Structure 1
């Protein structure tokens, strides 16, 4: 018995030693890829030495004798800190993820091959001017210099993820950077999804007034009536299927409807500034990831210093400032996508109808290689309107007439994309007029560019705007017959027709993704906008004081008051507050009274420490589900976020919208008060099951946790606790400090889409400008810079955005010197 015990002890001890040894070896190999920021390297591709001074937040300040050398340094710095992120983004654009991740990403690769974003990027290389090509090549050389250094010195393959997946890493090419801009464009537009959703709802709800309820237009005139969707086609429509099938893989490159790009950007002229100079604030909203998509950098160019937010893989500052100019971006929601249904030739399925008769599909075969599986050969098809998408994508099969296929027209597929050239010119601009002129070549994504110089403010919508016929059958809001000439695009509208605001009389300009113009079709910009709520709060904050300061702009950027809550609660609770007799403790009636009492004294502030935001959010979520479930059936699951205008229309009975309160299948006629009371009971039960029975002890931050998930390792057991970042946060779907909730699943209020970058620029004292990103500069989980900015971001704090090199050197964590080999 003693011998058995001794052997068990030896085996256990041996296993512990082996485990510790394995952990040590793993840590050692992973740590090998941590970059040394205080070193000198001989590299190929430089004309003169480059210095990269990293300040105490690990923001690189890149100095060189020429612009080409500076962009070389940016490529090197990006590859030092975010190599894995760059590799994954490039493979996404190329449709080559499955070579590394296997069957998990086959659907993603199939979509990207069909769109052929990378092919369009390669074609776009040919139309770049010499100056842009010099930058793209220099940047690629900088990335490749880091790759060569990793290979020569065995630096842990450049990133710890490389040991797990071991992908082949090809040299960086100019087309790669162009492709990443196109990939960003795909991620911030959702007009395709909006068209499909409207078509599905239209087929379910024969009354067009009810479609207008659940899919309301942004306030304003100029909206024409839509045709009956089924009447557009002379072929049978499919039977309406269940809920939309969503791909929830973090590597899926297309956002769900309602989860695409958003942003805040605004500026004040000197007359509205306490200091007499211009002010600007910008916070672009994108899915939260670890690391963040943004990377802070300062470039010392021949035209002067530029500092701000970059995206690894793209050699431009997308939101930032120079000594003379500040600029920021926000999703414009320009309607840059249209779905067309192409009618097949019944005698030859390889042909489709056009205004000039039948034409043959352009086809090409593409081999999709899959790790540990046999390759798959895809047949890619294009029509004159764009690439053909299968019915399995975006649930197109549920709205495709028999004998038709869907094709996508999208400006982002342009093979003559000079967007990077526009950004490079913008970085050298001195005035807002220069900035607007510089942005003319920009194609996609369409953005609202807010710019300030020392004395002027401006906002211009940039990006290619499709020109549509005034007789277009659906005005771009529903999939349209592609064989009718009046539905097809008529080219691109002139840049001068894009909305533009320069030095407005009020001295304030800005956007929260709200409707910015009200022009009749086809001069309109969009029928589908990203915001009808935040703009209310922004307008109030901007007009509540005569002059603004940097701090008042920060206060507005971090504001967590929900105008939606302030509007909806008096409507849905009007007949519930302070009615009825007191109920005994512990009864459902008492719980309802307690919840109403809490909400009655609430200001609408979505503070992470309060219970009211969670009670309110659970209530309106349950209410909308009760209102639409009987009419929409399984399709109701598509409406993952509340539509404030819908609930307001219902409770105000606008155009008879109160009919949504009556449950079709029940004999009694339910009132909106009945629905509100039942939904509150639903919400209280849900809260008790998930967070406990004491309503006053609830915390919004427990449910509204910012979830920065690592796209490739975030779901791996054990590793996810190392690579993912979770933080309790304030804000919500409709606050200026926007923290868009997941909307579905067991944790519907997780914060998954927010401002990964915030910047406030003060041109009275430019070096007092500030910025922050949501995680840290490094993409290496073992680096102290992986999440060091995360807590500052959560608390609403910033770091200095200074072009003062002496300040950067004074607290430098390292100086990297690149010497020409």
Structure 2
């Protein structure tokens, strides 16, 4: 059925004799020196058959766990400890909607999913016949077997890990809790003022991906009046908190808040980072002909999903059926998110656009399964799922849905439920196919047509061999009614319904920007674009993208090596220091040179604002790292602790630095409290009007001096008087064995680490165009394969990229037939018709 030609190195002559594109039913898979498969096939079905066959060989256990994670089917194989998790996942997606979208695909697109499922099943069949040698060790350890795949399963890998993660961030209920607590503490006027300064609707001083002036669009003036509106409900903080965590036992979605409350022991395993506990995502630099040196265009992506073993992304080459590309993509999606063909390169980062609203449903007091909408009570849709439990009886769970979407809480005693409305609901599969067909595009217009189809809030990037570059902020964004504050839950009675979806032409986008480059670190897409609704993420004057643009603006042109070095430099940069050291300097300028406070600030001024361990002694080289990381939390506490009540202060108290106790789980970002602090220090010059005085009438210098003295005291108590000894222990970069949803995708002993944490991509891929030539590099650590044999022997490509990653090095990737053949180490031919 599957003819294995060889699993060892072949001579170039034998390799060259194999067909470039196989006949129908024939698939050729050539693996290079790093284990990356290149799949050659004539039909769409066969191409994706070969793709998934390769994935199954490398990542079968990871893919099985991902499939079960995204569908809420973990208890079936790992037992009753996972029932609560499965309940939450079941309540966060609509399988009927997904299946309908799959069934509606045209023949060729359906062949992508069917071929992919068939390839997985072909390898699984071989594995089940030879379990003692081919079944990954983790299946043996956990006593279950892989099951067959369907087109639905393939689709849900994408929906569950992309849509239900990056398109689902929302803290409207938490925002309401904060606002109510602020009003209770400070009164209506000051409560709203504080809320608007902590979570502003628009900060015109925030740096933008589209250069200012390149994107002309009038800001929707109706939002200006939102600061004046009253609280959405009269419910108390306790009431809303109760609804948020679903104390009635109802089905909840796996929101960020739920991830915090669900299981404190597993909290960090959800891919969350820092004291504030939220993912911080990705960066990108694209350089066009105007700014590039020695190349027409350069693209370097650093998607930051967190760090895992096996790796979050999978490398692949696809050749045939209209595809001829190389790249890598999360969980081996059919669509290659980070890659290139001979004509163009593409990449992406998360965009914080607001594609989701929470609606507050008023329940019928006589029937809590009915809700008030447009003057009458409507019955909720109810879906009953059965959760199979290993070693226990099956469990039924009910999932409720209103006209707005799935319920995330259902409090029958209070007579209120909350439903989640997603603008991308029903468009998930179209989005997946747009990402897949992006790989066929050969020019900007082809690429932009696919961008227009994407419903998720994602930044898309483009570069081509002629030197053109482009950007589009994808997503389907709601046209909300006047008075609808997107930061807070909306009325579910029918008076705050969306007016429609904005056309793609209103999404920020640019082609060959005036700057000559495109830089993004999840910052604001363009001027006057409405802010996200998450208290943990805002677009503000303080933005880590400044570390990138400062380097890019430092000279007229940049080579590919310059771009690589820039990415390395920002990976060790302190993202906060540049904004506050000038304030520390100004405050202490009049002190005597031998004053310990002035000497401390002089240490900060001389600092390159980076943190390394070049001598590899296990401590950061820079004493200033220790001092600044001690000062910033002190300043945050002095500024905000007396203004932000109770637990809510914790949301704004974190400086976001990893530590030995709280290692890096995702990228380091400027935290919400730090952004608000800079605005407070800016005063009348701030981009967000400061109508409430966080300094309580005191000069800023008073707080800066007090926090500096407190930080110095703590540093000296811990490290001694001599600054030469002010060294913090290095935080390693850990590659965790739980996936982004906290589910175990490898054995505990498979965790890996590098010596020092780097604020960089989960993977990095570099594409360099020079006329008709394209040169590509990437690093996807720990390695291409996660396979461990039943006897414990790992694949030779299990962690062979870990050292590359630690050294900030890259491996070459191959696209042309000649390149692939010259670097092929093994070949397999498959017949998909047998």
Range of TM-score over shorter length = 0.7 to 0.9
Q: Secondary structure at the match of 1:758?
A: strand
1:605 corresponds to which of 610, 633, 643: 610
Task: Between 675-684 and 626-635, report the one with greater CA deviation.
Answer: 675-684
User: 1:198 deviation in Å?
Assistant: 2.2
CA distance in 1, matches of 2:748, 2:90: 33
Unaligned runs of 5+ in 2: 1-5, 15-21, 184-189, 206-218, 246-256, 614-619, 657-670, 789-793
Q: Does 1:710 align with 2:717?
A: no
User: What do the CA deviations read for 1:697-716 (whole angstroms, capped 9, x no partner)?
Assistant: 4556x443212110079999
Deviation string for 1:496-546 (max 9, x for gaps)?
Answer: 33222122344323422111223476xx88896467512223222222222
1:354 and 2:366 matched: no
Match of 2:196 among 195, 202, 212: 212
Within 2, Cα distance between the matches of 1:239 and 1:228?
24
User: 1:310-349 maps to which residues of 2 (within 5 A)?
Assistant: 310-349=329-368
Provide the C-alpha distance between the structure 2 equivalents of 1:320 and 1:125, rounded to a whole number of angstroms.
25
Matches within 5 A, 1:357-436: 357-390=376-409, 402-414=414-426, 417-436=429-448
1:517 aligns with 2:517: no
Shift of 1:188: 4.5
Over 3 Å counting, the alpha-carbon distance change for 1:70 and 1:211 in structure 2 is same
Q: Judge conservation of contact 1:188–1:260 (CA < 8 Å) in 2.
A: no
Q: If the length of structure 2 is used for normalisation, what is the TM-score?
A: 0.79
2:640 alignment partner, SS class: helix
Report how far residue 136 of structure 1 moved.
1.2
CA distance in 2, matches of 1:793, 1:757: 9
CA contact (8 A) 1:342 1:483 kept: yes
Distance in 2 of aligned mates of 1:492 and 1:157: 49
* Greater length-normalized contact order (CA 8 Å, ≥ 6 residues apart): 2
- Check the 8 A contact 1:190/1:255 in 2, yes or no: no
Instruction: Indicate whether 1:793 and 2:805 are aligned.
Output: yes
2:473–2:525 Cα contact (<8 Å) kept:
no
SS in 1 for 2:733: strand
Find the partner of 1:660 among 690, 694, 705: 694
Q: How many angstroms apart in 2 are the aligned matches of 1:715 and 1:357? A: 41
Match of 1:567 among 573, 576, 579: 579
Match of 1:488? 497
CA deviations on 1:363-400 (whole Å, 9 max, x unpaired) are: 12222233344443222110100111127xxxxx8xx9
The residue that corresponds to 1:232 in the other structure is 232
Contact 1:340 1:482 in 2 (8 A): yes
What is the CA–CA distance in structure 2 between the aligned matches of 1:625 and 1:140, rounded to whole Å?
Answer: 53
1:96 and 2:102 matched: no
Distance 1:716 1:427, change over 3 A: closer
User: Cα distance, 1:796 vs. partner?
Assistant: 1.5
Tell me the secondary structure at the aligned position of residue 132 of structure 1. helix
Q: Is the CA contact (8 Å cut-off) linking 1:182 and 1:445 kept in structure 2? A: no
* 3-state SS, counterpart of residue 271 of structure 1: coil
Structure 2 residue corresponding to 1:163, chosen from 137, 140, 151? 140
Question: Corresponding residue for 1:153?
Answer: 130
User: 2:30–2:37: 8 Å Cα contact kept in structure 1?
Assistant: yes
Alignment RMSD (CA, Å):
3.7
Conserved 8 A contact 1:368-1:377: yes
Question: Among residues 289, 299, 309, which one is paired with 2:318 in the alignment?
Answer: 299
SS in structure 2 at match of 1:138: helix
Measure the CA separation in 2 of the matches of 1:239 and 1:676.
38
| Structure 2 residue 92 is matched with structure 1 residue 108 | no
> SS of 1:231's equivalent?
coil
Residue 413 of structure 1 aligns to a residue whose secondary structure is: coil
Deviation at 1:274, TM superposition (A): 2.0
2: CA distance, partners of 1:526 / 1:433: 32
Determine if the alignment matches structure 1 residue 136 to structure 2 residue 116.
no
**Could you say which residue in structure 1 is the equivalent of 2:662?**
none
Whole-Å Cα distance in 2 between the matches of residues 57 and 686 of structure 1?
48
**Is residue 2:787 matched to residue 1:780?**
yes
1:771 counterpart = 2:778: yes
Asked if the contact 1:649/1:658 (under 8 Å) is kept, the reply is no
Deviates more, 1:93-102 or 1:337-346: 93-102
TM-score (norm 1): 0.81
The offset of 1:351, in angstroms, is: 1.2
Residues 246 and 324 (structure 1), Cα distance of their counterparts in 2 relative to 1, 3 Å cut: same
User: Could you tell me which residue of structure 2 aligns to residue 473 of structure 1?
Assistant: 484
